[in-house]
Amino acid sequence: MIILLTNELPPQINTRILLVDDEIIVLDLLKSAMVELGHDFETALDGEEAKARLKQSEFTLVLTDLTMPRCDGMELLKHIKEEYPLIEVIVITGHAELHGYTDVIRAGASDFITKPFGIDELEAKINRVIREQTLIRKLEHLSMCDMLTELYNRRYFELKLQEEIPRAHRQGYPVFLALIDVDRFKTYNDQYGHQTGDRLLHEIGKIFMHYTREKVDWCFRFGGDEFAIIIPYATVDQASQIADRIQERYRQEPRYAPTSLSIGLAKFLRHPGFSWAEDIADLVARADKALYAGKAQGGNLAIADSSMSYPE
């Protein structure tokens, strides 16, 4: 029951390529190459159309000509590097005398191809970019993952809050934060040993992943026996139900005694005159206060701060 307090390796990259060229013959050749190589793709006839496509769909790579009407390749490259920094760009041109390899690489392109080109060269350059993206994804995953529990770590928690909170406010959906602490974990460690304590933390991670919404909620281990869950796109009842389900499942396992879970819940609130950093710190502080209000009552409670009673 919620009490109201009134005061793994990352997935493989799915390559999706945007082909940009104002010459229909070249665009058709690129499309045929993508079909042969097995890549998903869309097309655009110039930089302005490409910008529209980038807003509508997600891409991992852009292949673009340099000389085009309305918005040329260099302008499109600059736009992509500013607005979509994770998208790689390979520049294709028949006018290498206007912009050379060094020019486009300095501007942020991953590679450069001169027309005419063969499918083998195109395949080799695309495969290199995909390999590099996959390696970067794996390294980023390792840097933000807690290896014991397979949850995200505290560093990524802080980054995710800075990303998710402004987005939620812009798009008008609520975000809740649950802070979780294992009651009497030191006693459990002293009684059964640190290896058993580590297994308990690993099982807590599995419970969180099972009782939260896949690809919606975000689960983290702060370190020690402290955890957090960011719950977007939810009502007060849904956020409370997630906390209830986690606690109920934990109580059902006698092997976890004498431990229990304390949970503090809070809803993000935007305050006039506050910076994003101040409002995020306020959210964490309110969830933390609710958590320790529960621990002060002996633990094994989910406490919601007063923000949970605000109209949605």
- Residues designated catalytic: 225
Helix ranges restricted to H, the chain: 24-37, 47-56, 73-83, 101-106, 119-144, 154-171, 185-192, 194-211, 236-251, 276-296
Q: How many residues does the chain have?
A: 312
Q: Cα–Cα distance between 306 and 140 in angstroms, integer?
A: 36
Q: Are the C-beta atoms of residues 269 and 310 closer than 8 Å to each other?
A: yes
Q: Cα–Cα distance between 64 and 45 in angstroms, integer?
A: 10
The two three-digit tokens of residue 169, written as one number:
């406010």
15: helix, strand or coil: coil
The two three-digit tokens of residue 166, written as one number:
């402004």
The residues, ordered by sequence, that sit 6+ positions from 28 with a Cβ below 8 Å of its Cβ are none
Pairing of strands 152-153, 218-223: parallel
In this structure, the number of other CB atoms found within 10 A of the CB of residue 242 comes to 23
Q: Cα–Cα distance between 167 and 173 in angstroms, integer?
A: 9
Determine whether 24 is exposed, middle or buried from the number of CB atoms within 10 Å of its CB (0-12, 13-18, 19+): exposed
Beta bridge partners of 266: 177
